[in-house]
Structure 1
Amino acid sequence: MSHLIRAYTALLYAMAAIAGATLVWLMVAVIVSVVMRNTGLQPFAWLFTSTEYGILYLTMLGAPWLVREKGHVHIELVTAALPPAIQHAISRLVAALCVIVCLVLAWKGAELCWTNIQRNDYDVRAYYFPRWILTASFPVSFTFMAIEFARFVFGDELMHAGEAGIHE
């Protein structure tokens, strides 16, 4: 079991590393595109397309790691005012609802990806690009997010700190 957990954790961090590298690529691509436009050149079509796809992959691949690190946005104004026992119950309930939402989105994302494969859908703006390569990130990411939220439901650690304000 520990091998499975280590493999899962390595995959989660690899996804986060790819998201980080994608962020660097977005910065480079935007700078190159702006410089090309300002010098009178037409930016490459793939440059714009890669930034669009990069934004999707950055979001989808980085989100599970953000859940693990509690880097997602949540407001603790209400939970901070509750007694500790109720605070723990509410935190676990919110995490359980997040698991359910993520599983539904993973399922619908898998259906969408499968539909793209069956229909042989292509994104045909700059290049012919199989659409399933884009939508495959949905079931993967949302499944990983469901697992990470489930850690807050069943694990020792709570999603909410119980303190209002900014904690970094």
Structure 2
Amino acid sequence: MQNFFKVVGWASFALATLVKLMLAAIVVEVVADVVLRNLNYRPIAWGVSATEYGLLYAAFLPMPWLVRIKGHVFVEFLRRALPAGGRVVLEKLVYALCIGLCLYLTYFAFASALEALNTGAYETKTFDMPKWLIFLPIAIGFFLSALEWLRYLVGHDSLYNVDPLEREGL
């Protein structure tokens, strides 16, 4: 099981790294677009659409890595008010709820991707984007996030083993 979670962690890290490269490309495209406009040249025709799709990918693909590194926002005032036994129960409930929500959203994103693939649907902007490529990062992000939450649920780590103030450097 430990090796399985290592592979999931590697995949999560790889997707987060890919998104860093995509964000760098978006920055380059936006700067190039602005420079071209200021020099009275035509802007890059596909730039806005590519940026929109890039931001969609940037929202969902690094999500599992953020779960793994505990880099998302969470509130723990209720957990701190509970005794130690209650904290453990609440933790497990939170993990199970997160897994359930991620799998639920994975199902709908994957079903939408399959439907788009079967129908050959495209989103038409400055270039045609197959709709399944729009739903795919959503499905991948939520599915891998569910696996990262599962890692917490089965006890390989705890979301709460780092003090939030310490994590923020306060």
- TM-score of the aligned structures, taking structure 2 as reference length: 0.88
Render the CA deviation track for 1:44-94: whole Å, top value 9, x for unaligned: 121111111111111111000000001111112222232222122112211
Whether 1:79 aligns to 2:83 is: no
> Which residue pairs with 1:46 in the alignment?
46
Alpha carbons 1:80, 1:164 under 8 Å: kept: no
Structure 1 residues 92 and 162 mapped into 2: Cα distance closer, same or farther (>3 Å)?
farther
Whether 1:37 aligns to 2:37 is: yes
**Counterpart residue type for residue 57 of structure 1:** Y
Post-superposition offset of 1:9: 3.0
**Counterpart residue type for residue 52 of structure 2:** E
Gaps spanning 5+ residues in structure 1: where?
A: none
Alpha-carbon distance between aligned partners in 2 of 1:129 and 1:59, rounded to the nearest angstrom = 18
Render the CA deviation track for 1:65-124: whole Å, top value 9, x for unaligned: 000001111112222232222122112211110000000000001110011112211111
Alpha-carbon distance between aligned partners in 2 of 1:98 and 1:156, rounded to the nearest angstrom = 16
Gaps spanning 5+ residues in structure 2: where?
A: none
> Which residue pairs with 1:115 in the alignment?
115
Tell me the percent identity. 30
Moved more, 100-109 or 158-167: 158-167
Alpha carbons 2:9, 2:68 under 8 Å: kept: no
Whether 1:140 aligns to 2:140 is: yes
- TM-score of the aligned structures, taking structure 1 as reference length: 0.89
Alpha carbons 1:33, 1:47 under 8 Å: kept: yes
Alpha-carbon distance between aligned partners in 1 of 2:77 and 2:165, rounded to the nearest angstrom = 8
> Which residue pairs with 2:129 in the alignment?
129
Whether 1:14 aligns to 2:1 is: no
The 3-state SS of whatever aligns with 1:100 is helix
Alpha carbons 2:8, 2:144 under 8 Å: kept: no
Moved more, 1-10 or 20-29: 1-10
Post-superposition offset of 1:38: 2.1
Alpha carbons 2:64, 2:148 under 8 Å: kept: yes
The 3-state SS of whatever aligns with 1:44 is coil
Alpha carbons 1:87, 1:162 under 8 Å: kept: no
Alpha carbons 2:61, 2:138 under 8 Å: kept: no
Alpha-carbon distance between aligned partners in 1 of 2:158 and 2:5, rounded to the nearest angstrom = 20
CA RMSD of aligned residues (A): 2.0
**Counterpart residue type for residue 34 of structure 2:** V
Structure 1 residues 3 and 148 mapped into 2: Cα distance closer, same or farther (>3 Å)?
closer
Structure 1 residues 15 and 80 mapped into 2: Cα distance closer, same or farther (>3 Å)?
same
**Counterpart residue type for residue 73 of structure 1:** V
**Counterpart residue type for residue 144 of structure 1:** L
**Counterpart residue type for residue 41 of structure 1:** Y
